Amino acid sequence: MGFETLLMTPGPTNTPERIFKAMARPIINHRGPAFRELYRSILENLKYAFQTRNDVFPLTASGTGGVECAVGNIVAPGDKVLTIHFGIFGERLREAVVRFGGKPVDVSAEWGENPSIEEVERALDENPDVKAVATVYNETSTGVTWRAIKELGELCQRHDKIFIVDAISILAGDELPVDEWKVDLCIAGSQKCLACPPGVSMVSVSERAYQVLRENKHRPFYFDLESYRSFAYERMETPFTPVLTLFYALDEALKFLREEGLENRIRRHRLCAEAFYEAFDRAGLRTVSKPENRSNTVIVLWNPPGIDGEEMRRMARENHGVVIGGGAGKLKGKCFRIGSMGIICQPFVSRTLKAVFDSLSKLGYGFPEEPSKIISEVEGKLEEGLGRLPPLSL
């Protein structure tokens, strides 16, 4: 596949050659016809990726900029917001609410767990005056996917609350039909399951969200969704100079997604994640997530007792050219994180497993069974599963 170094961090992830080629296209005037054609193509294909008829705008900002956009458009000073958090990125979402002068009402869970729908329902009953509910779908710090977005969406609709979902590290890697699940503002990032370099985040906006944000005089200027809307509708342009190079990348990435098909992309992510989980389970490693909330895209494992995870990561990088993420926030030094995203495929899974298992072996970890046997069995099964999907043209 020609990846000298394999980037297995939970974003950025490996970028295929076709996207690098797209980024080499010349710089053009963002107020001219060629840009409008590019923008139109991106806007149309984003609707496909988000499974929505709502607007979806690409922003010149990375994921947290998308969060700032979604939160800042809705939350005015004094507004109460139900903030659901069970890891670093949920806490960031909460912090964004605070910065805009919002009053967070917290629903939280231990890291590795997720809250229950009942807790959210109770909090909504106790706080009928909240304006919005904000949650992370896939918590990149713990590898937990809270598969309750559909139920949360119904709950929000029943209670007439704006529903904000940070799906940065999961959109296109797991189910997320934005309209069907009634998400008002959904945030994604370029450098995750879309296999782009970092630098663009995308936000979808429902009609209900527009109605609310139009009333908010203090929404951010740079991230003003109303001006994104009017510039798109009236001129097919962005209100401010866009990060053109990454727009080229995103356009190519979305075409790539359509070629593969969203369902196939999700299935590929699932099969690769299952292969990782099966291999790690058999090797006796423990995930931070529980079996029922394991992420399709981010795999977070505790360092085995007595093993220095940082040393393992260094060995994987230096001896195998495989870059793995470290623990984040309060999990720093306690676990390691694998991003299984974008163009994840059997050779990447195998090479990553080899790198981790070999490094753990050298550090004295006792495997319950022969690591090479685990890898070859998992690999065979994965190959078979992926064989039923269309081949990727990178």
User: 30, 131, 182, 208: which one contacts a copy of itself (CB under 8 A)?
Assistant: 30
Indicate whether 222 belongs to the interface with a copy of itself (CB under 8 A).
Answer: yes
Indicate whether 294 belongs to the interface with a copy of itself (CB under 8 A).
Answer: no
Nearer Cβ to a copy of itself, position 21 or 53?
21
Indicate whether 333 belongs to the interface with a copy of itself (CB under 8 A).
Answer: no
Residue 321 — left, alpha, or beta (φ > 0 → left; ψ -120 to 50 → alpha)? left
Say what angle helices 88-99 and 63-74 make with each other, to 10 degrees.
40
Give me the 265-284 binding string for a copy of itself, x by CB under 8 A, dash otherwise: --------------------
Write out the two tokens for 181.
């699940």
| Cα-to-chain-centroid distance, residue 339 | 10
Compute the residue count for the chain: 394
Number of residues that bind a copy of itself (CB under 8 A): 60
Indicate whether 325 belongs to the interface with a copy of itself (CB under 8 A).
Answer: yes
Residue recorded with tokens 């798109």: 232
Minimum CB–partner distance for residue 104 and a copy of itself (Å):
13
CA distances from 221 to 23, 62, 69, 217, 381 (A): 28, 17, 9, 10, 51
Give the CA angle between residues 389, 393, 394 to the nearest 5°: 125
Give me the 134-173 binding string for a copy of itself, x by CB under 8 A, dash otherwise: ----------------------------------------
Write out the two tokens for 130.
């909240």
Indicate whether 340 belongs to the interface with a copy of itself (CB under 8 A).
Answer: no
Give the CA angle between residues 131, 119, 288 to the nearest 5°: 110
User: 96, 193, 299, 375: which one contacts a copy of itself (CB under 8 A)?
Assistant: 96
Write out the two tokens for 149.
């977005």
Residue 103: strand, helix, or coil: strand
Nearer Cβ to a copy of itself, position 318 or 369?
318
Alpha-carbon distance 6 to 110, whole Å?
32
Indicate whether 108 belongs to the interface with a copy of itself (CB under 8 A).
Answer: no
Q: Within the chain, where are the H helices?
A: 17-23, 33-50, 63-74, 88-99, 117-126, 149-159, 207-214, 225-235, 244-260, 262-282, 309-320, 346-362, 371-387
User: 1, 5, 214, 376: which one contacts a copy of itself (CB under 8 A)?
Assistant: 5
User: 37, 44, 77, 235: which one contacts a copy of itself (CB under 8 A)?
Assistant: 77
Indicate whether 309 belongs to the interface with a copy of itself (CB under 8 A).
Answer: no
Nearer Cβ to a copy of itself, position 17 or 308?
17
Alpha-carbon distance 7 to 323, whole Å?
5
Nearer Cβ to a copy of itself, position 51 or 138?
138
Q: Residue 173: what residue type?
A: G
Indicate whether 193 belongs to the interface with a copy of itself (CB under 8 A).
Answer: no
User: 9, 41, 127, 157: which one contacts a copy of itself (CB under 8 A)?
Assistant: 9
Q: Residue 220: what residue type?
A: P
Indicate whether 315 belongs to the interface with a copy of itself (CB under 8 A).
Answer: no
Binding site for a copy of itself (CB under 8 A): 4-5, 7, 9, 11-15, 20, 23-24, 26-32, 60-65, 67-68, 72, 77, 92, 95-96, 99-101, 189, 191, 197-199, 217-224, 239-246, 249, 323, 325-326
